[in-house]
Amino acid sequence: MAVNELNATPNALRLHIAIFGRRNSGKSSLINAISNQNTALVSDVAGTTTDPVYRPIEIHPLGPCVLIDTAGFDDEGELGLMRVEKTREVISKTDLAVMAVVAGQSDFSKELEWLAFLDEKKIPVLLTINKLDTVMTLPLGSGVHEAKPNERSAINLPQELEGLERVYISARENTNIEKFRQKLIELAPSEYELDSITAHLINKGDHVLLVAPQDIQAPKGRLILPQIQTIRDLLDHKAIVSIVTTDKLEESLMLYKNPPKLIITDSQVFKYVKDRCPKETLLTSFSVLMARYKGDIDEFVRGAAAIDSLSEKSSILILEACSHNPLDGDIGRIKIPAMLKKRFGENIKFTWKSGNDIPADVSSFDLVIHCGGCMLNRKNVISRIQRCKDQKIPVTNYGVFIAHMSGILSDVVY
């Protein structure tokens, strides 16, 4: 891994700006123009972009963003329709959408259809009218052009698009690119991530003890993303942070004059840590904190209550947001099924889905259990929860599940 990759903000923490439009509507040119790079492949041949492409970028003052270049939503044929489906999946993680149309275009039926999808998810949209240079002569060199009323009417937008925030652009002539950037800043939702992972639980100067077992599942030579994010968040809030492996918990607690304000543990050793947690110390887990930061913790807690109504005939869907080779003792593949089988019998049924492969229809399941979702942005986790809510299927996550099964959920703070 290169040093700059190590320093980079993970995509999960970036504002996701997705560019939607037909093939050859200038989506890739827009990405190149705003990133000042020629990284997105631009071609006059329609359909150059296949799978969505994620491009990390800093947009001041928004901070770290990721631009998502999508395949045209008018793509055709068997492969084309698969690409359209991939583009559709991007909606679930989009914080801000750019709808690219071409100046002089006359058919907007597809755009209206996709705007309805975005509207349904309440995603703010910036309409960009691209290739302005093909319908009018632009002033050379200034980089700015205010489309005049008569020029606007030449562009001929349908009434349904009139209400959208919009900007007129020529990526080729570099016209109005700065305006485009400013409009993105204006429209970006301010609350795409919560401000902090831990600030609601601690004060400046509080001592926080972290328990992070470095077992076979821990990646070699490093901590996992939720642990790193939590440590950084605690340091930002001027907490005093200690970290130990599970076997050093008791020894470390004896070293301190006063008990820690908060213990944050790996969920897998929740019960062990709870049994040794001083009574004045608050207890939570990385996964529970992430469930609040990136999802809907109240929904996960409500979902956990459904565990008690399961039976041997129940069917469970386990969602892992990224694929990995399951190791011995893997939480989603081994530990959670073992806990449920022990309580409800061997015949309980499990289905696993990884990555973006989440079924549209989850209604045949009795419970959905989601992983910590550390590689997903908040929007994506919320939209997965919403799918379960819409179909009235309870959903919880690994950390909340384990706390409930260990009988300690009511003692956990979040």
Sole window of 151-159, 270-278, 345-353, 370-378 interacting with ligand SF4 (rule: CB under 6 A): 370-378
Residues 6+ apart with CB under 8 A from 312: 344, 345, 346, 347, 348
Q: Which is nearer to ligand SF4, 72 or 399 (CB)?
A: 399
Closest residue to ligand SF4, judged by C-beta, is: 371
In whole angstroms, what is the distance from residue 90 CA to residue 302 CA? 28
Candidate list 372, 383, 384, 414; residue touching ligand SF4; CB under 6 A: 372
Spatial CA neighbour of 297 closest among 182, 201, 158: 201
Q: Which is nearer to ligand SF4, 95 or 320 (CB)?
A: 320
Beta strand pairing call for 53-59 and 63-69: antiparallel
212 belongs to the binding site for ligand SF4 (CB under 6 A): no
240 belongs to the binding site for ligand SF4 (CB under 6 A): no
194 belongs to the binding site for ligand SF4 (CB under 6 A): no
13 belongs to the binding site for ligand SF4 (CB under 6 A): no
320 belongs to the binding site for ligand SF4 (CB under 6 A): yes
In whole angstroms, what is the distance from residue 144 CA to residue 130 CA? 14
SS3 state of residue 57: strand
Q: Residues 266-305: x/- map of binding to ligand SF4 (CB under 6 A)?
A: ----------------------------------------
Candidate list 127, 263, 283, 374; residue touching ligand SF4; CB under 6 A: 374
Sole window of 14-22, 260-268, 369-377, 385-393 interacting with ligand SF4 (rule: CB under 6 A): 369-377
Residue ranges with strand state E in 294-366? 315-320, 349-354
Q: Which amino acid is at 360?
A: A
Spatial CA neighbour of 126 closest among 115, 117, 136: 115
In whole angstroms, what is the distance from residue 61 CA to residue 138 CA? 29
Q: Which amino acid is at 119?
A: D
Interaction residues for ligand SF4, span 39-78 (CB under 6 A):
none
Which residues in this chain contact ligand SF4 in the complex, by CB under 6 A? 320-322, 371-375
